[in-house]
Amino acid sequence: KNEVEQSPQNLTAQEGEFITINCSYSVGISALHWLQQHPGGGIVSLFMLSSGKKKHGRLIATINIQEKHSSLHITASHPRDSAVYICAVAQGAQKLVFGQGTRLTINP
């Protein structure tokens, strides 16, 4: 069983729709990260969470430590949001364990 599970694996939506990507994990963590990977391969850090909720522009990330679950939301989605979104958990001080990623496609 994977330590970090994301759903859905693929998501296609129309521009303007509200998007939710889910992440569940089975191990103890010190923090959870949401990352964005574009077709060229580069990885950008979006959020690091250890509790509660964070917001940056149209992106919102939440985490429930008791349920070992996190969600990434995108409001008013746009084609430029199309990318792979990756959940990764920090075990201890350094090592990140990654989920498989969710490929998001936003159609105009």
Partner 1 sequence: EPEVTQTPSHQVTQMGQEVILRCVPISNHLYFYWYRQILGQKVEFLVSFYNNEISEKSEIFDDQFSVERPDGSNFTLKIRSTKLEDSAMYFCASSPEAQPQHFGDGTRLSIL
Q: Where along the sequence are the contacts to partner 1 (CB under 8 A)? A: 30-31, 33, 35, 40-45, 48, 86, 88, 90, 92-101
Supply φ then ψ for residue 81, to 5 degrees: -80, -10
Please, which residue, 19 or 89, has the CB nearer to partner 1? 89
Residues written for the chain: 108
Residue 14 beta carbon to partner 1: minimum distance, rounded to whole angstroms: 27
Distances (CA, A) of 39 to 15, 47, 63, 81, 104: 19, 20, 27, 12, 11
Residue 8 beta carbon to partner 1: minimum distance, rounded to whole angstroms: 15
Question: Which residues lie across from 103 on neighbouring strands?
Answer: 10, 84
Residue 6 beta carbon to partner 1: minimum distance, rounded to whole angstroms: 9
Please, which residue, 19 or 86, has the CB nearer to partner 1? 86
